[in-house]
Structure 1
Amino acid sequence: MAARILAVAGSDSGGGAGIQADIKTITMLGGYAMTAVTAITVQNTLGVSAIHAVPPEIVAAQIRACIDDIGVDAIKIGMLGNEATINAVADALAGVTVPVVLDPVMLAKGGTALIDEEAVWALMQRLVPMARVITPNIPELIALTETEVEDSADMLLAAQELLNSGPRAVLAKGGHLDGDLVTDWLVTRQGHQVFSDTRIMTRHSHGTGCTLASALACGLGQGLSLPEAAARARAFVRQGLERAPGLGSQPDVGHGPLGFFALPG
């Protein structure tokens, strides 16, 4: 039976990020994708122009409908938007023991805020302690730890600080740092592991965070170890960058989606 992966996230009308990226990723990696939609966004490669939040009780009901009937092997949490939704998701997941991958979505690729400032506290208090692994990028890492991150060493220190907030692991993503290499840190209470690859220069990077988190959840749901799941998730994202379809009406503006293909082998 395919691993059952529940994605809790917003809908991206352009198909590059959010629930749409989650479904494509989980399917390409051999899992069975289920969804709880937290918000409907109006967006394309040029950015987000509107957001309509789904009522928190409906978000929670979607989660319970999937878990109670189909069951679940891992959960990916992405865009939540506000404190009420965060609390509803946390309540709906109370007692769930499968791995939870938390992508603390705060900004869209174009810079639009995707979470209320007051909701960050609720995220830290309710969902971060539930996480098997949290996957912040540099701006998110700075916001969650209130520390400066200027290089890879700072990123490691901030990830270790975030680990003290309750998650079992942190996968800190270094794509926002300058340089020819992209370095990510996987930090657990047993130590840390570094992943580095040559930067792929492309504007077609919309949805990389969503894709990485859902790929990571899929791997954990399929029984991979955390380092194995992280390595495969990073490989899937890199392939998506390399095989991006080049979509978007303005070739030199905005952020196009990844390509979603099964990994070789």
Structure 2
Amino acid sequence: MQKVLTIAGSDSGGGAGIQADIKTCQALGVYSASVITALTAQNTREITAVAPVERAMIRAQLDAVFNDIHIDVVKTGMLANKGTIQLVVNRLRAYEVENLVVDPVITSTSGTVLLTEEGLDCLRTELLPLASVLTPNIDEAALLLGESPTFDIKWMKQAAKRLQRFGPQIVVVKGGHLEGSEAVDVVYDGTTFTMLQSSRIHTSSTHGTGCTFAAAVAASLAKGMVYKEALQTAKTFTHTAIAHAFPIGTGKGPLNHYAHMQTDNKGVR
């Protein structure tokens, strides 16, 4: 069985972070191990508290997993600060990890800052050079580049090209915040641009969308898909999970990670 390791924060509301990653991997038929970097007290409306995990414990988790389980793909999410990023980079190098999907979690859906300024700089210079795939949304891409975004395809292409210079093999700038009837993501592989397109779903159930997409990319790569197939699979999976989301909570609700397993010609069972 293919195996993904997710290194991310815990979401007590169950919609994002480690919880979203594990559900995504399970739904796609891939085993998921996990390393928790931070605890968050959150629901569909807000994050009320964040507690980074001590680095000794993060290292212990990483070593415990890598010393026993052969991991096919690693996916990172919330890393919180510079020290944690440096530790993760150290262990990824020590265990010669070749397949890494980086979801650059900088702020939450509700607007809470989840990565320090020092951490952001460290992410750029130390983690991105190891990435196979980088999956920022427009706002995250702008923060990584240190500039204000323009919400159009032209800027997304320029951003993807510039982000690729930090070292990731593939950059996906997600366009979920664009206006229009289509949700368009820009993919750059260092040579050519590709567009991932789906119809826009007008819903408030979008909590954990970025985590879900990146985890689906990791799971698909673990199953042996080439990157274009993996990205399209992740796009379709995430779109379906949004389209069939359940009404949970009173804010931005979570996705339905098992929707593609439940759908038939009549919709969700």
Q: Does 1:261 align with 2:261?
A: no
Say whether 1:140 aligns with 2:140: yes
1:49 — aligned with what?
48
Distance 2:222 2:215 in 1: 10
Task: Identify the residue that residue 183 of structure 1 maps to in structure 2.
Answer: 184
1:105 counterpart residue number: 105
Structure 2 contact 138–151 (Cα < 8 Å) conserved: no
Q: Where does residue 35 of structure 2 map in the other structure?
A: 36
Pairwise CA distance, 1:60: 2.0
SS in 2 for 1:171: strand
Per-residue deviation at 1:20?
0.3
Shift of 1:150: 2.8
Pairwise CA distance, 1:144: 0.8
Deviation at residue 98 of structure 1 after TM alignment: 3.0
Counterpart residue number, 2:196: 195
Partner of 2:267: none
Gapped runs of 5+ residues in structure 1?
A: none
Give distance in 1, aligned partners of 2:7 and 2:49: 19
Partner of 1:91: 90
- TM-score of the two chains, using structure 2 as the length reference: 0.94
Letter in 1 for 2:254: P
Contact 2:241 2:259 in 1 (8 A): no
Query: Is the 1:103–1:210 contact (alpha carbons within 8 Å) kept by the matching residues of 2?
Result: yes
State how far apart, in whole Å, the 2-side matches of 1:55 and 1:179 are: 43
Deviation at 1:190, TM superposition (A): 2.9
The equivalent residue for 2:234 is 233
Q: C-alpha separation between the residues in 2 aligned to 1:57 and 1:213?
A: 26
Structure 2 unmatched runs, 5+: 265-269
Give the distance between the partners of 1:69 and 1:98, measured in 2 at CA: 17
Q: For structure 1, which segment, 229-238 or 141-150, has the greater mean C-alpha deviation from structure 2 after superposition?
A: 141-150
Name the structure 2 match of 1:163.
Answer: 164
The alignment partner of 1:41 has SS state of: strand
Report the alpha carbon displacement of residue 12 of structure 1 after superposing the two structures with TM.
0.2
Contact 1:41 1:51 in 2 (8 A): yes
SS of the counterpart of 1:193?
strand
- Secondary structure in 1 aligned to 2:49? strand
Aligned twin of 1:245: 246
- Kindly state the Cα deviation for residue 57 of structure 1 after the two structures are TM-superposed: 2.0
* 1:151 CA displacement: 0.8
Return the alpha-carbon distance in structure 1 between the equivalents of residues 30 and 175 of structure 2. 27
Matching residue of 2:72: 73
Q: Give the percent of matched residue pairs that are identical in Structure 1 and Structure 2.
A: 40
Distance of 2:67 and 2:106 partners within structure 1? 29
The DSSP-based 3-state class of the residue aligned with 1:263 is: helix
User: How much does 1:192 deviate?
Assistant: 1.4
- For the residues of structure 2 that align with 1:151 and 1:246, how far apart are their CA atoms? 31
What is the rounded CA distance, in whole Å, between the counterparts of 1:20 and 1:165 in structure 2? Answer: 29
In structure 2, the CA distance between the partners of 1:262 and 1:31, relative to structure 1 (3 Å rule), is farther
Give the CA RMSD over aligned residues: 1.2
1:208–1:258 contact (8 Å) kept in structure 2 = yes
Q: Is the 8 A contact 2:75 2:102 kept in 1?
A: yes
- Asked whether the equivalents of residues 21 and 207 of structure 1 are also in contact (C-alpha less than 8 Å), the reply is yes
Query: 2:175 and 2:203 mapped to 1: Cα distance?
Result: 16
Shift of 1:198: 1.5
Mapped to 1, the partners of 2:259 and 2:219 lie a distance apart of 13
CA distance in 2, matches of 1:60, 1:178: 42
* Compared CA separation, residues 151 and 140, structure 1 to 2 (3 A): same
In 2, the alpha carbon distance for the partners of 1:260 and 1:177 equals 23
Task: Indicate conservation of the 8 Å contact 2:103/2:210, yes or no.
Answer: yes
Cα distance in 2 for residues equivalent to 1:222 and 1:66: 19
CA distance in 2, matches of 1:48, 1:145: 26
CA contact under 8 A between 1:29 and 1:262: conserved in structure 2?
no
- TM-score, normalization: structure 1? 0.95
Q: In the TM superposition, what whole-angstrom CA distance separates every residue of 1:165-199 from its partner, at most 9, and x where no partner exists?
A: 11111011011122221110111123111112211
Could you tell me whether the CA contact under 8 Å between 1:105 and 1:114 is conserved in 2?
yes
SS in 1 for 2:260: coil
